[in-house]
Amino acid sequence: MKTVAFVNIKGGVAKTASVTSVAHILATQYNKRVLMIDLDPQANTTARFSNINVYERLERKLHGDIRSIDNSISDLLLNRNMDVHNCIRKTVYQNLDIIPSDLQLGDVQDRIKADVTVPPQFRLKGHIKKIESEYDYCIIDCAPSVSIANVNGLAVCDEAYIPTTTDGDSLEGVAYALDLIRTVKDYNDKLEISGCFFTRWENQGVPKMAYELLEEMVPGVLLPFKMYKSKLIGEGSYLNLPLLIADKKKTVSKLTTNYLHLTEFIMADNKEEYLKQYDEERNVYLTLEQIIGIEQIESEVEQELQEDIKKNGICEPITVVKQGKEYLLVDGKKRCKVQEKLISDGIWDKYRPIPAKIAER
Ligand SMILES: Nc1ncnc2c1ncn2[C@@H]1O[C@H](COP(=O)(O)OP(=O)(O)OP(=O)(O)O)[C@@H](O)[C@H]1O
Ligand SMILES: [Mg+2]
């Protein structure tokens, strides 16, 4: 299991948007077994995958009903004898589970400090060890603070990602996060800072100073995936929908495209190589409806390829040439045929994105 945390000490920089998008893409586009852990008492990730709609949640809160939930991350942090499985909830999505949070997480800090039997930063570690073989990825949503819960998350983490907007306050949050990660690295030496990326991006200029400072703090840390500003995230928060579901259209949005790239980057064995080959203009995602030239194909697809794609998704991009608003298929006919079949069998959605490389004419 690879454990990944999204962290920035500044609030509102799209940690939750990133966690919910990436975890859901890993589970549904790439069929990975994914566990999300919500370490924020605001419990926004928990809410996104809850079966209680936003209006009901609002109404309860407006009436002062802020009841805590049973078997949440708080219980896990407080009780080392608890069976972690009791805290894991299934979501409606295949392969995607969550350990939920609630407001009481804000109060556990003192109780953790009072119990000296387990070091305060290792309250999660024992639990996570027990489920390591049950998941491919554990994706952690951190709170915008230097909390004991965040420290526990980072203490079990392999990779930390830092989302940030371009304003000065958020970049200060990055600096705090980097400092926290370095401190936790003293007792979790596998922890790596895998990248920082801009969110709510509107092609705004980033002051040169900010780039230089970031580069100075962690050389090469800035990833090229820009998370464009889009109303899809806000809509998803009303409808309890992760990005990929909120964005079911003929054309894959730029935001979804870049979250798909970030997810592939997280999965990549060789991250340097992934970045070398990445080109924002040419590496795209298309739906089957945008691709022309498939209908003339009469090729038998081997059972083995079908099974592989059904199991792992299409990982190798197809090649296309742009023709007006459409894309002519150049290479990848068998992959497209499998996608077509899985859609007609009702296994995949018709707007499922296909990775594609746009070739020069
Ligand atoms: N790409 C985007 N386009 C438009 N709005 C976005 C985007 N990403 C996030 N948002 C919005 O920005 C706000 C903050 O996002 P989010 O809750 O994911 O941040 P966060 O870092 O988890 O915040 P907190 O620190 O409070 O937990 C939300 O209102 C969310 O809907
Ligand atoms: Mg959040």
| Per-residue pLDDT tens over the stretch 230-246 | 999 999 988 999 999 99
Average pLDDT over residues 314-337: 94
- Ligand 1 mean position, distance from CA 12 (Å): 5
How far is 260 from 254, CA to CA, in rounded Å?
A: 10
How much is the pLDDT for 4?
98
Q: 282 C-alpha vs ligand 2 centroid, how far in Å?
A: 32
pLDDT value at residue 116:
84
- Mean pLDDT score, 129-133: 97
| Cα–ligand 1 centroid distance for 164 (angstroms) | 10
- Quick one: which of 223, 128, 145 has its CA closest to 180? 145
CA of 14 to the centre of ligand 2 (A): 7
Residues contacting residue 188 through CB under 8 Å, at least 6 positions apart? 154, 155, 156, 157
Take atom 15 of ligand 1 and give the residue whose Cα is closest. Answer: 14
Say what the pLDDT of residue 298 is: 63
- Ligand nearest 259 Cα, by number? 1
Nearest-ligand number for the alpha carbon of 258: 1
Which atom of ligand 1 lies nearest, measured to the CA of 233? 31
Ligand nearest to the CA of 225: 1
**Average pLDDT value for the chain:** 93
Closest-CA residue, ligand 1 atom 28, reads 12
Q: What is the mean pLDDT of residues 70-82?
A: 94
Q: Which two three-digit tokens encode residue 223?
A: 């990833």
| Residue 86 predicted with pLDDT over 90 | yes
Length of the chain: 361
CA of residue 12 to ligand 2 center, whole Å? 7
CA atoms within 13 A on the CB side of 307: 3
pLDDT at residue 296, as a whole number:
64
Q: What is the pLDDT of residue 302?
A: 82
Query: How far, in Å, is the centroid of ligand 1 from the Cα of 107?
Result: 24
Taking a C-beta distance cutoff of 8 angstroms, is the pair 121, 187 a contact?
yes
Residue nearest to atom 7 of ligand 1 (CA): 200
Question: 294 Cβ partners below 8 Å, 6+ apart?
Answer: 288, 329, 333, 336, 337, 340
pLDDT of 247 > 60? The answer is: yes
Radius of gyration of the chain (CA): 21
Q: Which two tokens stand for residue 348?
A: 């995949």
Residues having CB within 6 Å of any atom of ligand 1: 11-17, 40, 42, 44, 144, 199-200, 227, 229-230, 233-234, 237, 255
Nearest ligand, measured from the Cα of 163:
1
How is residue 83 written in tokens? 């069976």
In this prediction, residue 54 has a pLDDT band, given cuts at 50, 70 and 90, of confident
What is the pairing mode between strands 227-228 and 192-201? parallel
| Stretch 328-350: mean pLDDT | 94
Give the residue whose CA is nearest to atom 25 of ligand 1.
11
Q: Report whether pLDDT(67) > 80.
A: no
Integer Cα distance of 313 and 335 in angstroms: 10
